[in-house]
Amino acid sequence: MRSSSTVVEEEEDGVIYTVVVKQPHGAPNSPLSAVTRSQCVKAGTEEKLVLHLLHSFAMGDSSFITIFLSTYRSFTSTERVLDILSDRLESPLGDGERSQTRQSFNRAVCTVFSTWLSEYPEDFGGLGGPSRLLRLAPLLPPDAGELRARLLRVAEGLSEDTLLPPPTRGPGVPGVPVTSEFQPHGVLSFSAPLIAEQLTKIETELFLRLVPYHCLGSLWSQRDKKGREGVCWSVRATVRQFNRLANAVMASCLWPAAAGRPRRARLLEKWIGVAEECRARKNFSSLYAIVSALQSSPLHRLRRTWQDTDRSG
């Protein structure tokens, strides 16, 4: 049986909902049980949006938890969300532990925090201390023993971090190992497929560590603000790799040790071959980095060197 849908907006207690009401066709006098109603949040205050996490499933807004957890950092903080939820858990819904309302509320609480811990564990690891988690753990439903244990393990790790002194580097110890002398022509010793394979491995590891919400424009636009230097670290890592590769291509072809048109021509050919191998592996990030370097002004001006390259391929 086909059904008709009615979509309206309703405002209730500071929250604007998009309400969808479905009723079977040809059944105007059908019982109310045949009519379905779902409410999805369209807009609301910070506190109302956070509290809607605990009511979204009951209202038929099943995607809200996933959407909220992936976007909330653009308008609030993890600390603030935990504070609002903890305040609410101190006065749970329902007349008693065995009431249907309380059991539904408890299931929602477990769903929210289980999803949060599984999908975004770094949010909890980034807390300044364990106090909020230690407050939250006793407020969880009595049958949420495993979830409580997970939160307490995170709190224990935060306690250890606050007690340990910050790591220090000894004098003269570099942050990353570097070679003592740059060898621009060293790339000629390796085959293009091997270089492309290694670049693809690096890009794959960076992609697997990419945090989806770091790609939000509202967060990326704050990356240079004071106190926000650590935001979008997973995206920054991909940008750094792109710049390193582009700089390596230019440096290898322009380094004084690579002087001479024949050697520079061989280096250009090598990087073109690497780019083609990256394209075959669908490693478009490395491909674009190499092409950007080859099209840069310093390399583009090497007209005679480009004339010496083998164009048979």
Final residue in a domain of this structure, among 118, 134, 163: 163
Whether residues 221 and 128 share a domain: the answer is no
In a domain, 143, yes or no: yes
Q: Exposure of 274 by Cβ count < 10 A (0-12 exposed, 13-18 middle, 19+ buried)?
A: buried
Local structure of 231: helix, strand or coil? coil
Weakest mean pLDDT among 77-86, 135-144, 171-180, 256-265: 171-180
In this prediction, residue 172 carries a pLDDT of 39
230 lies in the same domain as 302: yes
The predicted pLDDT at position 202 comes to: 93
- Let me know whether 207 and 291 are in one domain: yes
Q: Are residues 188 and 303 in the same domain?
A: yes
Do 205 and 286 share a structural domain? yes
Tens-digit pLDDT profile for residues 204-216: 999 988 887 787 7
Please say whether the beta carbons of 206 and 218 come within 8 A: no
In a domain, 33, yes or no: no
In terms of residue numbers, what domain contains 201? 184-307
User: Residue 216 is part of a domain; what is its CATH number?
Assistant: 1.10.840.10
Same domain (yes/no): 121, 207: no
Mean pLDDT of the chain: 79
**Cα separation, 106 vs 93, whole angstroms:** 9
Separation CA 261–CA 10 (nearest Å): 72
Judge whether residue 132 has pLDDT over 80: yes
**Percent of the chain, pLDDT > 90?**
20
Those residues whose C-beta lies under 8 Å from the C-beta of residue 269, and which sit 6 or more positions away, are: 309, 310
Looking at the domain assignment, is residue 258 inside a domain? yes
Answer yes or no: is 247 within a domain.
yes
The 10s digit of each residue's pLDDT in 50-83 is 888 888 777 777 788 888 888 888 888 889 999 9
Q: What's the CATH code of the domain at 106? A: 1.20.870.10
Q: Are residues 89 and 189 in the same domain?
A: no
- What percent of the chain is predicted at pLDDT more than 70? 76
**Do 52 and 153 share a structural domain?**
yes
**Does residue 289 sit within a domain?**
yes
Asked whether the beta carbons of 238 and 206 are under 8 A apart, the reply is yes
Could you tell me if residue 37 is inside a domain? no
Residues 198, 283: one domain? Answer: yes
Residues 195 and 153 in one domain: no
Sheet (strand 36-44) strand order:
3-12, 15-24, 36-44
Res. 259 pLDDT band, cuts 50 70 90:
low
Q: In residues, how long is the chain?
A: 313
pLDDT of residue 25: 60
74 located within any domain: yes
By C-alpha distance, which of 289, 187, 196 is closest to 240? 289
Domain count, the chain: 2
Shared-domain flag, residues 212 and 287: yes
pTM: 0.56
Statement to judge: residues 79 and 188 lie in one domain:
no
Q: Are strands 36-44 and 3-12 parallel, antiparallel or unpaired?
A: unpaired
What six digits make up the tokens of 163? 């007690």
The residue out of 106, 133, 163 marking a domain boundary is 163
